[in-house]
Amino acid sequence: RFRKRDLECRRDIEQFIPAFLSIYDSLIPPEEEKAKQEQLLKSLERLVNSEWPEARLYLYGSCANSFGVSKSDIDVCLAIDEQDVNKADILLKLAEILESDKLQNVQALTRARVPIVKLMDPVTGISCDICINNILAVVNTKLLKDYAQIDARLRQLAFIVKHWAKSRGVNETYHGTLSSYAYVLMCIHFLQQRKPAILPCLQEMEATYMVTVDDITCAYFDEVGSLSEFGAQNKESIARLLWEFFDYWAFRHDYANAVISVRTGSILSKRAKDWTRRIGNDRHLICIEDPFEISHDLGRVVDKYSIKILREEFERAAYILQYDPNPCVTLFEPY
C-alpha cells in the first residue's frame, strides 16, 4: 500500500523539529533514576562479594549505553572466574544469596539462551536481570555510549526510532523483529554514511582502548571528547534525519546484497561475508554486522514472515513522514 518511492522530501519537514525534540525530551530518564540504579548495583555487589570476593558487577545494555528510556529494567553482568563451576551452578547459588536478602521475585532461568537470574528490588522498585561473564556485551555497551557522546543527533534519532519500534511492535526478537541493540547500530551506521558524515568510524581510527574477550580483540578510538565537532559540517536536523532514515530502510537499502557494518563504517556485501544462504536458523534477510563478533548477524532473528512486517513498517513510517499531517502522533500509533 505504501510501496511508492519518493526521491526527495516534498514538504517542509523542519516544521516538526520542536515536536520531535519534545518527544525525545519526554523519553530521557531523570537523573535520580541513574542514582537509584547505582545504589542497587552497589548493594548487589556487596551481596555477591560476600560469596565471591573477586567477582565484579557491571551494568550493560540500555541503562549504561545512554540509549535507555525512563523506567527501563537494568541489565547486570557478573564477571567471575568460572573455571571449576558451571554457569547454572553459579546462577542457582546467586539466586539463593539474593533470595535470602530483601530482594523479591528472584528467579534463576538457567535454560534460557542467555542464562540469567531475575529479581526486583523493593527499595528502588527496579527490576534487574543478572547474566554471567557476558563481557562482550559490556564492551559493546561502552562502544555505543562513546558514539552517543560525539553528536547529540545520534541519541535523538535512536530514542525516537526505538520508541517507534516499541509502539509498532517491531522490537521483539522472539517474534522475529529486531533488538534495541540492532536499531541503535542501524542509527550509528546511518549517521556514519551521511554526507558530510555525522559520526566517524571509531574502529577504523587509531585504537586508544583495547581489550581481548573470548579471543576477540576489541579495539577502537575512545577519546571521544576530542570529536565533539566531528559532525558540525552537517546541519541536518532530527526531522530531516528521521525522514532519511526511514526512506533508506523503506526504499534504498539493498536487502538482497548489502550488510551494514558499523565496524568499517561502510556497506559490505553478503557474498564477502558468506551470508548468502540459510544456515540453520540464520536466514540473513536483513544484515547487521555486530561490531565485535563479526560473524554475528543481528538480523538473524528475522524470518520470511517478519521481514515483510518490518519492511512494511519502514514504508509506513517513510510514508507518514512524507505525507501525514501529524507525523509526530501517527508515527507512534499502536498497531
Q: Which residues bind ligand GTP (CB under 6 A)?
A: 60-62, 65, 67-68, 72, 75, 136-137, 140-141, 179-181, 290, 293, 296, 298
Quote the distance between the C-alpha of residue 329 and its chain's center.
23
3-state DSSP assignment of residue 86:
coil
For Mg ion, give the closer residue by CB, 38 or 254.
38
Yes or no: say if 210 and 217 are a contact pair by the CB < 8 Å rule: yes
Q: Which stretch binds Mg ion (CB under 5 A): 27-35, 53-61, 243-251, 309-317?
A: 53-61
Q: Which stretch binds Mg ion (CB under 5 A): 20-28, 59-67, 87-95, 98-106?
A: 59-67
Write down the least CB distance from residue 140 to ligand GTP, Å. 5
Closest CA to 209 of 193, 220, 224, 194: 220
Write down the least CB distance from residue 67 to Mg ion, Å. 10
**Which segments of the chain does DSSP mark as H helices, in order?**
17-27, 31-51, 87-100, 135-148, 152-167, 180-193, 238-247, 270-273, 306-323, 327-330
Site map for Mg ion, 71-110, x if CB under 5 A? ----x-----------------------------------
**What is the distance between the alpha carbons of residues 68 and 28, in angstroms, rounded to a whole number?**
8
Quote the distance between the C-alpha of residue 12 and its chain's center.
30
Q: Which does 247 bind (CB under 5 to 8 A by kind): ligand GTP, Mg ion, none?
A: none
Number of residues assigned to the chain: 335
Write down the least CB distance from residue 7 to ligand GTP, Å. 33
Which 208-237 residues touch Mg ion, going by CB under 5 A?
A: none
Q: Which does 310 bind (CB under 5 to 8 A by kind): Mg ion, ligand GTP, none?
A: none
For Mg ion, give the closer residue by CB, 62 or 140.
62
**What is the distance between the alpha carbons of residues 176 and 179, in angstroms, rounded to a whole number?**
9
Write down the least CB distance from residue 146 to ligand GTP, Å. 13
Write down the least CB distance from residue 59 to ligand GTP, Å. 10
What are the DSSP calls for 105-137, one per residue?
A: EEEEETTSSS-EEEEEETTTTEEEEEEES-HHH
Per CB under 5 A, the list member of 61, 265, 299, 327 interacting with Mg ion is 61
For ligand GTP, give the closer residue by CB, 218 or 320.
218
3-state DSSP assignment of residue 222:
coil
Q: Which stretch binds Mg ion (CB under 5 A): 12-20, 56-64, 90-98, 280-288?
A: 56-64
Write down the least CB distance from residue 143 to Mg ion, Å. 16
3-state DSSP assignment of residue 229:
coil
Write down the least CB distance from residue 140 to Mg ion, Å. 13
What is the per-residue burial (b if ≥16 Cβ within 10 Å, else e) of 157-189?
bbbbbbbbbbebebbebeebbbbbbbbbbbbbb
Per CB under 5 A, the list member of 13, 40, 62, 159 interacting with Mg ion is 62
Q: Which does 293 bind (CB under 5 to 8 A by kind): ligand GTP, Mg ion, none?
A: ligand GTP
Name the site residues for Mg ion (rule: CB under 5 A): 61-62, 75
